[in-house]
Amino acid sequence: MLEVSLLVPWLLLVLLVLLLVALLPHLRSPRMGRRSRHGRSGQARRRAGLPSRTGPLRSRLLRELRGDRGAAERLLSHARLSYPGQSEQWYYEKVIYDLERDRRP
C-alpha cells in the first residue's frame, strides 16, 4: 500500500490542475475573448481572412451621412457609450436605424 506521504503531493497536484481548468475561462481578460453572439470577434474574423460583417453596414452608414466619416464615428461612439456590451454589427444597425427614423416625414 502507498504511503500517505507519497499520496498527498499527487492529490494536491491533481486538485491544482482541476482548479486551474475550472477557473481558466474566468481568468481571461474580458476584452481578450470578447465575441459577438455570432461566433468570432471582428478581429478574429480579420485574422482568419473572413469578411467583416460590418463592412456593408459601414458603407451604408457612410452613404446615409454623405461620406462624413467624422459624423459616423461620433454616432457610433455615442451608441457604444449609451448601449455598452453590444456587437459592432448591432451598433451600426442601431445608428442606421436611428438616422432613417429621424429622417422620416
- C-alpha to C-alpha distance for 75 and 100, rounded to whole angstroms: 13
Average pLDDT over residues 86-102: 96
DSSP 8-state class, residue 96:
H
pTM listed for this prediction: 0.52
- Closest by CA to 88, choosing from 58, 49, 50, 68, is 58
pLDDT at 2: 58
Share of the chain above pLDDT 90, in %: 47
Show me where the domains of the chain are located. 52-105
- C-alpha to C-alpha distance for 22 and 88, rounded to whole angstroms: 30
Convert the pLDDT of each residue in 19-56 to its tens digit.
Answer: 888 877 776 655 544 554 555 555 555 555 555 778 99
